[in-house]
Amino acid sequence: MISKSIRKRIETFQFLAPAILVIAVVLVYPLLSTFRLSFFSYTIARGLRFIGLKNYLDILNDSTFYTALQNTFVFTLIVILVEMTLGFILANILNKDFPGRAIVRGLLMVPMLASPIVSGIMWRFMYNPDFGIINYFVTQLNLPAQVWTGDPKTALLSCMIVDIWQYTPFVMLLLLAGLQSIPKEQYEAAEIDGAGAINKMRFITIPWLRPMILVVLLLRTMDSIKIFDQVYALTGGGPGISSLTLGVYAYTKGFRNFFLGYASAISWVLALITILISIFYIRSIKLPERE
């Protein structure tokens, strides 16, 4: 006679087992292997050799790594600033009722759901200095033509523009959902008290929206720190290393030069940064009630 509590445990386990099994084998195991590999040197000629902390010490002395780190942070800071601002403005506009609002929202959703690698390639075509449509528009406005992705000065900026294009709609959509959850009575009451637009924004909209703003901010930060597809398609990190980000650097080290140990160490640094941010993220959202 099996006790009731054990039967219950078996039942719970049956439901969870497939998910836990797949996650353990296909995600946890590789993650731990990456950690292990980061203490090894791997080259095709010599295979695996244990080298202790050497990869991490090398990272500390690797000027390319610092450039990639700096690029990643500059990239993240600027795109998030622009995306949050533009997304907030657009969300407020779309929060009003006007004919065709659903269609506009649908159209604005296209960039964020478009394949990132395809977006990068699409923009690369438009950025082309010789036949790209962007330089055509720029010269029509009597501004000097740019080399965009081909110039170390503008390469990272070109990548930022694409990210802003792709993810501002995401920010907009989530902030819009936040705005729509604010009870209308709040505004009506404020109007009776004679509050103007600025005060309504300051005392109702912003405080109500604050949790959502935080969530979007953290989600976007995690995503832009690990940016890969768009940069890979637009510049591959170049020219030189002018637009190299951590994700692209890890990929290049691993799958172009096949320094798998070193690439693993870079990946772990990158993973640690996002895990740290995700802890803040988890603490900022309310976990659903236990039952």
Chain positions 39 to 68 lying near other proteins, rule: CB under 8 A, are: none
Should residue 158 be labelled a site residue for other proteins when binding is judged by CB under 8 A? no
3-state SS class at 52:
coil
Crossing angle of the two packed helices 260-284 and 29-37, in degrees rounded to 10: 130
Contacting range for other proteins; rule: CB under 8 A; set: 51-59, 71-79, 93-101, 199-207: 93-101
DSSP strand E in 229-273: where? none
What share of residues in the chain are helix, strand, coil (percent, to 5)? Answer: 75, 5, 25
| Shortest distance, position 89 Cβ to other proteins, whole Å | 7
Length of the chain: 291
Should residue 145 be labelled a site residue for other proteins when binding is judged by CB under 8 A? no
> Quick check: bond before 239 cis, omega within 30?
yes
Q: Which two tokens stand for residue 197?
A: 């637009």
Should residue 10 be labelled a site residue for other proteins when binding is judged by CB under 8 A? no
Should residue 286 be labelled a site residue for other proteins when binding is judged by CB under 8 A? yes
Should residue 143 be labelled a site residue for other proteins when binding is judged by CB under 8 A? no
Which of 22, 57, 77, 201 is the binder for other proteins (CB under 8 A)?
A: 22
Which of 19, 45, 60, 198 is the binder for other proteins (CB under 8 A)?
A: 19
**Of 216 and 241, which has the nearer Cβ to other proteins?**
216
Q: Which two tokens stand for residue 261?
A: 């140990």
**Of 66 and 280, which has the nearer Cβ to other proteins?**
280
Should residue 182 be labelled a site residue for other proteins when binding is judged by CB under 8 A? no
How many CB atoms sit inside 10 A of residue 214's CB? 14
**Of 41 and 168, which has the nearer Cβ to other proteins?**
168
Q: Which string of DSSP letters, residue by residue, matches 163-195?
A: HHHHHHHHHHHHHHHHHHTS-HHHHHHHHHTT-
Which of 119, 154, 158, 243 is the binder for other proteins (CB under 8 A)?
A: 119
Contacting range for other proteins; rule: CB under 8 A; set: 16-24, 65-73, 187-195, 201-209: 16-24
Which of 59, 80, 160, 216 is the binder for other proteins (CB under 8 A)?
A: 216
Distance of CA 215 to the CA centre of its chain: 13
